[in-house]
Amino acid sequence: MVKWRYAVILDAGSSGTRVYVYRWLDSARARQSASPKELKSLPEIKTKKHWTKKIQPGISTFADKPSRVGPDHLDKLLKHALDVIPEPDVKDTPFFLLATAGMRLLSDADRDRILSEVCSYVKSHSNFLVPDCGIHIQVIPGATEGLYGWIAANYLLDSFDGDTDAHESGHHTYGFLDMGGASAQIAFVPSEAEARKHANDLTLLRLRNLDGSIQEYKVFVTSWLEFGVREARRRYVEALQKSAGGPKTKEIPDPCLPDGLRTSLDGKPVSSESRETQLFGTGRFDECLELTYPLLDKDAPCPDEPCLLHGIHVPAIDFNVNHFVGISEYWHTTYEIFEMGYKDKAYDFNTYQERVNQFCSQDWSAIEKGISEHRWGSKVDEDKAMEVCFKASWIINMLHSGIGIPRVGLDSVKASTQNGTKEVLEHGKEKGYLSTFQAVNEIDSTEVSWTLGKAVLYASSLIPVGENDLPVGFGSNQPGVPPDFQYPSIRGPTIIKETDFETWREALFGGESPRRIPGLLLFLLIVVIMAFYLCGRNRRGRIYHKLQSFFGHKGSRFSRGLGGKLLGLRLNSPAYERVMEEGGLDLGEMSGSSESDRGDSLDYDSSKSPSKRSSLFNGSNTPTLKFELDNGSGSSIGLGISNIHDRQGMVLRNDSREHLVPAVASGSRSRAGSPTRMYRKSPVLAPMDGEQ
């Protein structure tokens, strides 16, 4: 029985592709040692840091050379995954490449060409499980990416392990925020009042516990394309250039760059003598905040109230109920520089903005010196330092002016009629997520990545259930299985019927029970007995004689007692093999039958005329019959013995010539010496004409 299950998931982002390998116990094994609480929990997914690998750039850069995406990009990631997963498990390990915002910005034709090349390369260079490229290799919508991230964050925060009935408000999950290079996502479960008001805007998510019971959540998820830091920066530079007089202007002041730093429009350092259009930093962070605020597009028309950004509908957020965690750029921009160099790690709006002001107002030469001294940690290089002031202003505007998260120390949280705040705080107290917003990178040493959410969903779908149970996945907020329901993989493996055989197999081969060895021996004994009775009467007779010679002479207690009964033989009679009774069947009665009607296993002299075939079973004309061992034949009956039927459906007896003589007799082949044979019937043959 399989012990571990694996999944390989590639996050094909705008700036690079990262491979993740996840592992969990097979559900049958996990249930053997699970406590009652664990049986009501989702599968335990594990990963390790060295199981992850990232390469750059993103696959979207292969739009003009799609044939190179395999050898130049995927090859290293496939080899890394194959080094992690044991070779026997590869064929059962699903492979997913899920592309995000970078690929969303390409044309449909460019996307299709790249994905087609990815599918072909993975199938030809690995044995990973890819039953449907349309599901396993695709560009996922931003809402799906946000939902996977919401699953991952709440899974690591143990939000799915609690008893929902224990929370008076029924609310015990965290909100989720993600920001990459091209897009930003938000996912949360609204308060009960908002959920009723905006039921049609919610996504139904269904997960399955180890014991087969389900967990369902109604989550609001949305995504803002072009609201990631790279795309926001592009829009910001375009606005700067336009306000400065257009493309003819060669020098443009940029308050989001440290004082004294000069870059090209795409952010590369340049000298003052360069003739290309360049940005020169002024180090005015307050002005930077003002210039990035319009990028939120909060004044866009809102056809479905309420909206947050860019006219996109979002239900009202009750921050007394919804506490958020943020990953990716929310983490990198708040932690790598503005917390690494300080003892106090807690997020506080006043403290954070003060540190950003202090950093960005420095002269660029002072920042370069701090980088060389590793003042902000070894991960901070010049490229990150050049970008961080813009990123910080964008993060602050997104969090507080865009989404509306209260500025700790300045804004008060609006009173709520929901009483879920205490439960949420108690639930996350040990992990320290007490603030309305907390940037995270890892929880319990596991990276918070949306790919983990995909792995949780897939592992949950493999848990055996009844045939009529609802499947794992997500779709529109409708009962049952809505038309747009998304399965974790192909639909087939999601429903597995657990049989009694599976229970026996686990009892015999799994677990640490002291009865495991006796059970295994009993199982082997049953297999031997079954094989013994299936081997045929003749072979059983030969086995008996061997046992007889081993235990004693023919009249011993063994031969008279248990041995004879088990073998089903008449042991007081001469040991004859099966013979064909005279007059049993006259082939001449099958008028007009061809040789093919009699079956390929019948071998006779083809020179005989049809008129003589009626006596083939008499005297010296007894035919030679063959047992064909081709079990693939349509006339085979299990052990390779071919059936021969006449046109009325009668079964012909076709024992071979060598079995027509007594096993212990010699000399004449007379049939008169068979005193007990008579008309013993085979249990697998239909009665012949004349038999009763």
Bridge partner residues of 602 (DSSP): 625
Q: Is the dihedral of CA 12, 13, 18, 21 positive or negative?
A: negative
Q: Helices 450-461 and 142-156 meet at what angle, rounded to 10? A: 80
DSSP state of 626: -
Spatial separation of the C-alpha atoms in residues 202 and 556, rounded to whole Å? 81
**430: CB partners within 8 A, 6+ apart:** none
Name the nearest CA neighbour of 481 among 660, 214, 239: 214
Count CA within 13 A, CB hemisphere, residue 456: 28
Q: How many CB atoms lie within 10 A of CB 343?
A: 5
DSSP letters spanning 171-222: ----EEEEE-SSEEEEEE---HHHHHHTGGG-EEEEEE-TTS-EEEEEEEEE
C-alpha angle 190/98/214, rounded to 5°?
A: 45
| Residues that are catalytic | 145
Q: How many CB atoms lie within 10 A of CB 686?
A: 11
Q: Answer whether 238's CB lies under 8 Å from 229's CB.
A: no
Tell me how far CA of residue 185 lies from CA of 100, 141, 223, 318, 602, in angstroms. Answer: 11, 10, 4, 18, 74
Instruction: Report the SS3 class of residue 22.
Output: strand
DSSP state of 677: -
